[in-house]
Structure 1
Amino acid sequence: MSIVRTRFAPSPTGYLHLGGARTALFSWAFARHHKGSFVLRIEDTDLERSTPEAVQAILEGMQWLGLNHDEGPFYQTKRFDRYKEVIAQMLKEGTAYYCYSTPEEVEKMRETAKAKGLKPKYDGTWRPEPGKVLPPIPEGRQPVVRFKNPQEGSVSWDDMLKGTITIDNQELDDLIIARQDGSPTYNFCVVVDDWDMQITHVIRGDDHVNNTPRQINILKALNAPLPIYGHLPMILGPDGQKLSKRHGAVSVMQYEKEGYLPDAMINYLARLGWSHGDDEIISRQQLVDWFDTHHLSKSAAQWDPKKLNWVNAHYIKQLSDEALVELVTPRIQAKGGNTSGIDLKAVLALYKDREETLEQLATDALLFCLPFSPASPELTEQFITEEAKAIVADFTQAASALSEWTSEQIAATIKATLAKHNAKMPALGIPLRLLVTGQKQTPAVDQVLAIFGKETVLNRLKV
C-alpha cells in the first residue's frame, strides 16, 4: 500500500456535529493506523452559507476531540486560481464545454425528459460532438462550464463498506463545474483538492454516494489517480429516526459545555459503527492499533445517550484527583461557587463515583462552595424536634472532644451517640445534614462533616 493520506473536509455552514466528528475520527484513526497523513480541508465554496464562526467552531471541535491534523487547514476559497487553471485545461482538452442554457431552459428540459419517462437531466444542447452544429451564442449571456460526462458504459468502484457499486453513465448529468460568475462548484473543487493533496482514501458519510461517480469521472478525465472510497451509514436517533437536535445532534462543543470528556466522546464515537470484539472501553491508542475498515458496520448506528453517559462516567472515575480538580474548578466558579479554602479533592472524591458529567460534579460541589443556606422552616419543624436536639447535643459534645477530625472518628462518634440513645441512623443523620448543610440528603454524613471541618460543623450544630 502506498503512503495513506486521508482527509476530513467539512463545509463551514454550521457547527461540527456528531456525524462529522465520527467521520473525522475514522479518517484520523485510519491514517494513524497506517502511519499516514491526516489532512484537514475546509470546503467553503458556498459563500452565502459559510461563516467564519462556523470555521472556528469546527476547528475548536477538532482541537477539543484531539483529532490533530498533519496538514492544513486548507481553504477552498484560497484555491480559486488553481480551480480556474484546471477548468481552462479541461476546456482546451475538450473534457469540458461552455453551456449557455439558462436555469429556466434546463428546468424545461428536465420536465420534458420526465414526461417521457426518462431521467430528468440537461439534454446536452451545448455539448460539442463531431459533426454537431451548436446554436448561435445568445448575445450578452454568460455561460456556465459543464463537464463532458461519458455517455457510454458505466462507472464502478469497490467501496470499503458497501462493496462494488456501479452506476450507468447515462444516469449522470453533464455536471456544472463553473457557475456563470466563474466560481467553481463543490464536486469539481473536491476532485481537484483530492488530486492535488494526493488523497488515497476518502472516508465520508453515505449521503455522498451520489457524488462519487461524478467525481470519479472527472478524475479519470484529468488522468488523476482514484482514491479508495468508503461511505459510512448515517447515525440514527434512539427512536430509529434520522439524528436531529431533539436527539442531541448538536455541536460537539455543546458536549464539552455539558461536562463530557473528549476521551469519552472519542471512545463512544469509535463504537458507533465500529467494533473490536466485545470491547466497550477503548483508548485512543487501542483505536489506532486496532482500527481497520473491515470492522466498520454496514448498517446505520444508533445514538444512545445513556451509553454515552455510562462511558463518560467510566472516564471520570479514571481521572486522578488532581486532574478532576483542574477540570471542575472553573465549572464551580462559573456557577458562582467559591473554591478557596475548600478541599476540592475530598469533595470531588465524594461524588466522582456517582455522577456522569463534570457539570453534575460541579453542581454537587456547590454544597461546599456556596454560602450556607439554612434548611426550610418546614424541614426544621419536622426533623429538629426536642428529641433530635438532645441527640445532636450529645453528638456535639463528643465531637468537640475529638483529637482528629476524620470521617472514621466522626462515624465512630455517630455510632456511639446512637447507641447511647438507642436510636437508628435517621434520628441523628437527618438532623446533622439539615443543620450543617441545610439539605436533607447528602452523601455519607461522616464524610460530609469531615470535609466541612470541625469549627464549621460545631458552629452550625449550636441549636
Structure 2
Amino acid sequence: MAFYTLPIMIRTRFAPSPTGFLHIGGVRTALFSWAYARKNNGTFVLRIEDTDLERSTPESVKAILDGMNWVGLAHDEGPFYQTRRFDRYKEVIATLLDSGHAYYCYSSKEELDAMRAEQEARGEKPRYDRRWRPEPGKTLPAVPEGVTPVVRFRTPLDGTVAWDDAVKGRIEIRNEELDDLIIARGDGSPTYNFCVVVDDWDMRITHVIRGDDHVNNTPRQINILKALGAPLPVYGHLPMILNADGQKMSKRRDAVSVVDYADQGILPEALLNYLARLGWGHGDDEFFDMTQFVEWFELSDVSPSPSRFNREKLLWLNALHIKAADPARLAGLISPRLAAAGIDPSSGPALSDVVTLLRDRVQDLNALADEADYFYRKRQPSAEDVAKHLPDGAKERMERFAAQLAALDDWSAEAIHGLFKPFCAEEGVKMGQLGMPLRVLVCGTTQTPSVDAVLALIGKDEVLRRLHAA
C-alpha cells in the first residue's frame, strides 16, 4: 500500500504595528513574505497588530493600508485586527492557566523596580525573580488586597530553545536566559508576544518572515506554542537596513516612509526592485519586475548580513523603470505635479507625447514634471544663458528663422530639421548658434531633447508666438 503526504499549504503574513508610518524596512519584509507565498502558490495574510492601545492610531492604520496598496503587495486574507480578537486571547490565557503553563503575579510596579535595582547593584541581569511562580513545596506570598494581577507565562527553567532559521541558520537560546514574560496585563489586555503566537497558530502561518529585531522574541513564542501543543512555523529573520553611514535608518536622518518615496517621484515597482536587492540577489541581475522576482526568489538566497541603503542605486533603477513604463501611466502620475505648479497640461501637447520624449532624461517623476513644464509655458531664461547664446544679432537671426518656420506646411520634426542645414549655411553659422538660441527663446533653457522634436511638440503657433515675443 502506498502512502502519500499532502503538500504543506504555505501561509505567510505581514504584521505591522500601526504606531507610525509604513517604513521601507517593513515594506521589504512584506515583499519577501508576499514573494514566498506567491512562489509557492500559498496565501499572504495581512494582520494589524494594534494591541498597543496608547500608540496605535486610525491614521497609522490608514497609512499602512495606503502604503501596501501603493507598492502593489496585495494580501489574500485580512486585514485582521488584534483588538477584535480579545475574546480569543482570553480563552487561550484561561487554557494556559488551567494547564499550569501560566500563573497570576501580584508584584507591584514598586516591587519590580526595587527588585531590578537590587539585581543591578549585585551586577546581575535584571529580571523578574518568579516570586509568584507556583512550584511543588513552595509557599507563595499572601495575595495582597486591591491588587489586580498580571498573568505570566511559566517559562521552562532549563533546556534550550533551538530552531533552524531560514535566513540566519541554527539559533539556540538557553531558557535560563528568558524571563517569565507577562502575557496579560492587569487590565486583562493581552501583550504582543502572546497575541502573535495565538494569531500565527489560528491563522495557520507556516513561515514567519520578519526583521531580525524579533530574534529575541522567537524563543519566547516557541515556548508558548509548545505549551499550547501548536505546530511551529519556519522562522526567517531578515537583517536590518542601514543608511549610507552604516547606521540603522531613522526618521530623523533618513527618508524611511513609503510616502516619502512616493513624494520624491519614485515608482513603486522601482522601490520594490531596489528593496528586493537589499540582502537578496540572483546573480548579476539588477533590473527586474515582480513576476521575475517571484520566479527567482528563495529564502535560502537571503543574506544574513545587514544591507546598506544607496539612494543613487535606487534612482538608477527608478530611471530604468521610468523608461520602461507606459507613457500614458507616467502622464497620469505627473499631471498632478504639473497642476500643483499651476500648469494645465490640456493647454498644450498631449502629455503622453511629452513624456515619451523626456523619459530617457530623468531619474524621478518630479524631474520629469519639471522637464515637461516648458512645453506648456516658457521658462524665464537665466541671464547667463541669454548673455552666452543671444549675442548681438542673434535675435534678428531668430526672426529670420521664424519666418522660415512660419512658411512650413508640414509641422513635423523631420520638416523642421530640414530647415537647419540650409539656414545655417545661408547665415554662415554653426548648428549650435541656431539650436541654442532657439532653446533659450522658445523653452527658456538650454537643456532639452533634440530641438526639432521639441518644437514639433510645442506646436507651430506657440513656437512662433514665443519667438516673436522674445
Aligned pair 1:351/2:358, yes or no? yes
Amino acid at match of 2:256: V
Shift of 1:380: 4.8
Structure 2 distance, partners of 1:155, 1:330, is: 54
Deviation for aligned residue 1:326: 2.5
Change (3 A) 1:176 1:456: same
More deviation, 153-162/113-122: 113-122
- Correspondence for 1:275 among 265, 276, 281: 281
TM-score in terms of structure 1 length: 0.95
The alignment yields a C-alpha RMSD, in angstroms, of 1.8
Query: 2:202 maps to which residue?
Result: 196
Conserved in 2, the CA contact under 8 Å of 1:238 and 1:247?
A: no
Question: Residue 367 of structure 2 aligns with which residue?
Answer: 360
- The TM-score with structure 2 as length reference comes to 0.94
Worse overlay, 137-146 or 257-266: 257-266
Amino acid at match of 1:122: Y
1:276, distance to aligned residue in structure 2 (A): 0.9
Q: Is contact 2:120–2:126 with CA below 8 Å preserved after alignment?
A: yes
Rounded to whole Å, the distance in 2 between the matches of 1:101 and 1:17 is 37
Deviation (angstroms), 1:89: 1.2
Tell me the CA shift for residue 273 of structure 1. 0.9
What is the Cα deviation at residue 379 of structure 1?
A: 5.5
Q: Which residue of 1 aligns with 2:3?
A: none
Contact 1:42 1:74 in 2 (8 A): yes
Q: 1:380 to 1:150 in 2, by over 3 A?
A: closer
> Out of 453, 456, 467, which is 1:450 matched to?
456
What CA deviation, in whole Å up to 9, does each residue of 1:248-279 have, x standing for no partner?
Answer: 43221221222211111111111111111111
Q: CA deviation at 1:81?
A: 0.7
* CA displacement, residues 307-339 of structure 1 (integer Å, 9 cap, x when unaligned): 111111111111232222232223222321111
In structure 1, what residue type is equivalent to 2:324?
Answer: Q
Instruction: State the distance in 2 between where 1:431 and 1:368 align.
Output: 16
Partner of residue 422 from structure 2, selected from 416, 426, 450 = 416
State the SS of the aligned residue for 2:393: helix
Aligned residue for 2:23? 17
1:373 Cα deviation (Å)? 5.2
Which whole-Å deviations, capped at 9, do the CAs of 1:175-196 have from their partners, x for residues lacking one? 1111111111110111111111
Aligned equivalent of 2:404: 398
1:431 and 2:432 correspond: no
1:225 to 220, 225, 231: 231
Unpaired segments ≥5 residues, structure 1: none
Q: How does 1:208-219 map to 2 (within 5 A)?
A: 208-219=214-225
- Residues 217 and 379 of structure 1: CA distance in aligned 2, closer, same or farther (over 3 Å): closer
Give the direction of change, closer, same or farther, for the CA distance of 1:317–1:48 in structure 2 (3 Å limit).
Answer: same
Aligned match of 2:90: 84
Query: 1:412/1:164 Cα in 2 relative to 1: closer, same or farther (>3 Å)?
Result: same
Q: 1:385 to 1:42 in 2, by over 3 A?
A: same
Gaps of 5+ in 2: 1-6
Q: Amino acid of the residue matched to residue 421 of structure 1?
A: E
Measure the CA separation in 1 of the matches of 2:206 and 2:440: 65
What is the Cα deviation at residue 415 of structure 1?
A: 2.0
Contact 2:101-2:154 at 8 Å conserved across structures = yes
The alignment partner of 2:316 has SS state of helix
Mapped to 1, the partners of 2:452 and 2:420 lie a distance apart of 8
Quote how far apart the aligned CAs of 1:444 are.
2.4
Distance 1:248 1:113, change over 3 A: closer
Read off the aligned partner of 2:312 and give its amino acid letter.
K
AA aligned opposite 1:355: V
Show the counterpart of 1:324.
330
Tell me which amino acid in the other structure corresponds to 1:20: G
SS of 1:316's equivalent? Answer: helix
Give 3-state SS (helix, strand or coil) of 2:219's partner: helix
Counterpart Cα distance in 2 of 1:460 and 1:168? 78
SS of aligned partner of 1:337: coil
- Which residues in structure 2 correspond to 1:14-413 (within 5 Å)? 14-245=20-251, 248-340=254-346, 341-370=348-377, 372=378, 375=381, 380=386, 383-413=389-419
Kindly indicate whether the alpha-carbon contact (under 8 Å) linking 1:395 and 1:414 is maintained by their aligned counterparts in 2.
no
CA distance, structure 2, for counterparts of residue 203 and residue 119 of structure 1: 30
| 1:441 to 1:159, Cα distance in 2 relative to 1, 3 A | closer
Deviation digits for residues 354-374 of structure 1 (CA, Å, limit 9, x no counterpart): 10111211111111223x455
**Cα deviations across residues 68-109 of structure 1 (Å, max 9, x unaligned)?**
111111100111111111111111111111101112212222
Q: Percent identity?
A: 59
User: Is the contact between residue 156 and residue 175 of structure 2 (CA under 8 Å) also seen in structure 1?
Assistant: yes
Aligned residue number for residue 3 of structure 1: 9
Cα distance in 2 between the residues matched to 1:389 and 1:414: 16
Deviations 1:362-414 (A, max 9, x none): 111111223x4554677656654442134223312222222211122222212
1:292 and 1:380, CA in 2 relative to 1: closer, same or farther beyond 3 A?
closer
Verify the 8 A CA contact 2:255 2:261 in the aligned structure 1. Answer: no
